[in-house]
Structure 1
Amino acid sequence: MTDTPATDEIAAAEHHHGAIARRVDALHRRVDHLPGGRTALRVLVACVGGAFILAGAAMLVLPGPGWLTIFLGLAILGTEFSFARRINDWLRTQVRRMWAWWKARRGKDGAVSGA
């Protein structure tokens, strides 16, 4: 695929995203047949996703995987809310840019220290 573990992991996650999207679509089809079902689902997703984000924010100063929990909360919110999907897309782009910068920097440092 590619030569870096981070880009391999991102590509694998994007591949699995199709399976998750199909499951979310199937859930939407089932919920749409219930009166008030979609609204209830959106409220549930907002509560669960928001709880993850708040817990992640607390874990930034307490022991625990704060950023990972925040990103998971955004992913949960992204199943129902477009703003969270846009934030996730932006973050994915930033991670790729940072990884490319880090890889280029390590390449320069390795060439200098190896001389």
Structure 2
Amino acid sequence: MLNAIFAIKPKYVEKIFSGEKRFEFRSTVCKQQINKIVIYETSPISKIVGEVSVSKVLKDTPENIWLKTKDYAGIDYDSFMNYFKERKFAFAYVLENPTRYETPKFLSEYNIKSVPQSFVYLK
């Protein structure tokens, strides 16, 4: 299985590491199965700050995904529904064992030149 770097906003990164957010929501899913998300924290940090294991990926309507994940979504209902507006499906990566790196890393340490728009696979 592969790992992938996901670009995630700072407010959500903190919630992942605190355990408040146990799902990463996406409007599209990686075509290849991944077992870890390497977390790129977006501006102002702009570095890779840790990783989290993926146990599975849920796919359903946005409303059903919300009902299954709301207790540990790390996001409010209105923001969630706004993100998925006009989408037939929502995806939720189920997150486990988040690990924050002692020293954040630059994308260049992974031979990546630009910030991933959504995600990028790691070899």
TM-score scaled by length of structure 2: 0.20
User: Using CA pairs below 8 Å that are at least 6 residues apart, which structure has the higher relative contact order?
Assistant: 2
More strand by share: 2
More helix by share: 1
TM-score scaled by length of structure 1: 0.21
Higher CA-based Rg: 1
